[in-house]
Amino acid sequence: MLTIDDKALAMIQEKNQPLSIDPVREFSGCCISVTESPGVHFGLPKIDADKYAAHSLQGVTVYIPNCFPADGDYVIKLRSFLGFRQLFIDGWKLC
């Protein structure tokens, strides 16, 4: 399940734009496989729009890639550092 944290939701409503989640990328080595946390950005999907589905989460349109895992509890949160604000997915497991 994917939800949006209150602070992130306030920023998203301020921008008044849809969100897109980047496709899930997996890196494999000889003995381990790591799945990088996908990025979150404002706007429509940058590539392969047909590989996304539009969902409404808490009143926000979010384009989620079809390969996004259905199991797990993920939260879109806001982090800020030196005045820069960034959305990210919390709860992501690398392996």
Question: Mind listing the pLDDT tens digit for each residue in 74-90?
Answer: 999 999 999 899 999 99
- How does pLDDT run across 19-38, given as a tens digit for each residue? 999 988 877 777 777 778 89
**Predicted confidence (pLDDT) at residue 7 exceeds the cutoff of 60:** yes
Distance CA 59, CA 82 (A): 29
Please give the pLDDT value at position 23.
Answer: 87
pTM of the model: 0.87
pLDDT band, residue 3 (cuts 50/70/90): very high
Nearest by Cα to 65 from 36, 32, 24, 93: 24
